[in-house]
Chains A and B, each alone.
Chain A
Amino acid sequence: MKIKLLYFGRPRENLRLSNETAELPAGVATVADLLALLRARGPEWVGELAENRVRCAVNQELGALSAPLHDGDEVAIFSPISGG
Chain B
Amino acid sequence: MNISIQTADFDLAAELAALRTGRAQIGALVSFTGLVRDFSENGTIGNIYLEHYPGMSEKALEKIIIEANERWQLLGVRVIHRVGELHPNDQIVLVATASSHRADAFAACEFIMDYLKTSAPFWKREQTEQGAKWLDTRESDVERAKRWDKQEDTQ
Q: Which residues from chain A sit less than 8 Å from chain B, CB to CB? A: 6, 8-10, 12-13, 57, 60, 62, 76, 78-84
Contacts and interface: CB of A to CB of B under 8 A. Distances in A.
Contact of A57 (B34, B53, B122): B53
A81 B55 contact: no
A84 B55 CA distance: 17
Interface stretch (B10-18, B23-31, B96-104, B134-142): B134-142
B118 interface: yes
A10 B135 CA distance: 9
- Judged by DSSP, the binding face of B is mixed
Interface residues of B, number: 29
Interface of B: 34, 50-53, 55-56, 59-60, 81, 92-93, 113, 116-125, 134-138, 141
A14 to B, nearest CB: 9
A78 B125 contact: no
Contacts of B117: 81, 83-84
B134 A13 contact: yes
Contacts of A82: 122-124, 134-138
A55 to B, nearest CB: 8
Given A9-B51, A9-B123, A60-B59, A83 B81 contact: yes
B51 A8 contact: yes
A13 B125 contact: yes
B123 A8 contact: yes
A70 B38 CA distance: 44
